[in-house]
Amino acid sequence: MNKSKKKVSMPELAPELRIQNFKEVCTGYTQEMAVEEASRCLDCKNPKCVQGCPVNVKIADFIRAIREGDLQEAYDLIQETNAFPSVCGRVCPQESQCEAKCVLGIKGEPVAIGRLERFVGDWFLEQGKAQEERKESNGIKVAVIGSGPVGLGCASDLSKLGYEVTIFEVLHAAGGVLTYGIPSFRLPKEIVKREIEALKQNGVQFSFNTLIGRTITIEQLWEQGYQAIFIGSGAGLPKFMNIKGENCNGVFSANEILTRVNLMKAVDQRYDTPIADFKKVMVVGGGNVAMDAARVMRRMGAEVHIVYRRSIEEMPARWEEIEHAKEEGIVFDLLRNPVEIIPDENYRVSKVVLEIMKLGEPDEKGRRSPMPSSELITEDFDCAIIAVGTTPNPLIRQTTDGLETTAWGGIIVNEETMETSIPHIYAGGDAVSGAATVISALGAGKKAAKAIHESLQK
């Protein structure tokens, strides 16, 4: 038993090196480190960590298997509820989920559950082993719209049960936010590719460059013989601040910048994706998306400022991302809110007027609210990236009669089955919940796959 109050630390690339490339920052545990960390687990009779996980991974059991050196068993236990441990081990907000419930966290640091999950997932991928055998085809066609985690999770379970699953994806590559949003220094694209490759080997078909609602409609999918449809189209429509000057050149949504760099390889000289050589960039927002955009622009050579209207304590981003951003020299301009973007004579971003904010009373979520002070300052910037949230794209609801949605555009589902207001059409992930997490999307995909199977077997 390892009685240390601290986690076994994770090796990381030094900040001065990592801002020069897009290599993964945290390089992962060795087996020796994993066993040492697993030996900190108290193996509680009633493990609270499992309750903290949105998909109730059998955490204590897989950690025990690591301790005993049975990595295949550890992998199989995780796979029962989470199809992508290498991904979730890297990007899940464990500090507010499973690790927040670990009893070791009361007097020291909790067990590093995420790092251990990542270790097991990576071990499996390195073995090059095949995923669980697919049952013989039952000939029943199911369409999945969107290849983000919710679509991949749903397709994975259905294909294992023998369904003929086709994923329709508007982009030319699969993975949703895992591919176009989260940068490779947090989630190497090789990991996502290998997970997708495993799905292909299990018979899942992909139809890329296919925008459901334009290229073909849901109505036409029925005509093509699909017997159930799952909508996992995410929440990729960026919100803007609606301030003066926000339409000038050099203003981007975070998703656009991230897509240009991650998917369209703006960082690679062999690609001609345009991204100007910005000198001083403002990123507005305090979530993971803002941190990702800021750290990407730092690697593109810019001086980067995060402008956030509350203090650092209220930032929704993962603490680890905030720490990494600080180490990389990103400046945090806190209690500031942009009220105007001033262009130069060529209508390019030149200055930003910021209002100084104060903290007021806590809001309904317990976060102190930002209060304007009327005091204004003006700062020079040549680029502004807006990361203040996203909503579901309206196209599918606009082109599908009878599909009920909330006022903000989330698809309404029966929470038990994920079925929408239209029989045999299911939905999940960010398209239903609004911007959330990878693990909640995977959980929703799994739930929907089970309900689709039960309904089609009747």
Ligand X SMILES: Cc1cc2nc3c(=O)[nH]c(=O)nc-3n(C[C@H](O)[C@H](O)[C@H](O)COP(=O)(O)OP(=O)(O)OC[C@H]3O[C@@H](n4cnc5c(N)ncnc54)[C@H](O)[C@@H]3O)c2cc1C
Could you list the residues that contact ligand X (CB under 6 A)? Answer: 91-92, 145-151, 168-171, 176-177, 181-182, 211-213, 232-234, 236, 258, 288-289, 292, 393, 395-396, 429-431, 435-439, 441
Q: In one letter, which amino acid is 288?
A: N
Name the token pair of 104: 């070791």
Task: Report d(CA 57, CA 110) in Å as an integer.
Answer: 17
The least CB distance from residue 188 to ligand X, in Å, is 14
Nearer to ligand X among residue 71 and residue 152 (C-beta)? 152
Instruction: Kindly state the tokens that stand for 121.
Output: 């997932």
Q: Residue 382 has which token pair?
A: 């040549």
For 96-107, letters b (16+ CB in 10 Å) and e give ebbbebbebeee
Report the distance separating Cα 256 and Cα 189, nearest Å: 18
Output the smallest distance, CB 3 to ligand X, in A: 31
Closest to ligand X by CB, 12 vs 36, is: 12
3-state class (DSSP) for residue 310: coil
- Least distance in Å: CB of 232 to ligand X? 5
Task: Return the number of other C-beta atoms located less than 10 Å from residue 80's C-beta.
Answer: 13
Beta carbon nearer to ligand X, 169 or 355? 169
Q: Which helix (H) or strand (E) holds 379?
A: strand 368-380
Report how far residue 168's alpha carbon sits from residue 228's, in angstroms, rounded to the nearest whole number. Answer: 13
**Cross-sheet strand order for the sheet of 383-386:** 251-253, 383-386, 280-284, 303-308, 331-334
Tell me if residue 176 falls in helix, strand or coil: coil
Query: Mind giving me the DSSP string for 391-421?
Result: E--SHHHHHSTT--B-TTSPBP--TTT-B-S
Residue placing its CB nearer to ligand X in the complex, 71 or 113: 113
Shortest Å, Cβ 449 to ligand X: 13
Least distance CB 243 / ligand X (angstroms): 22
Whole-number Å distance between alpha carbons of 56 and 440: 11
Residue with smaller CB distance to ligand X, 256 or 379: 256
47/149 with CB nearer ligand X:
149
CB of 266 to ligand X, least distance (A): 15
| Shortest Å, Cβ 371 to ligand X | 28
Q: Extract the tokens encoding 198.
A: 């495993």
Q: Between 94 and 354, whose beta carbon lies closer to ligand X?
A: 94
Residue placing its CB nearer to ligand X in the complex, 82 or 393: 393
Distance, in Å, from the CA atom of 58 to the CA atom of 44, rounded to the nearest integer, reads 12
Q: How far is the CB of 214 from ligand X (least distance, A)?
A: 7
Q: What is the DSSP letter of 96?
A: G
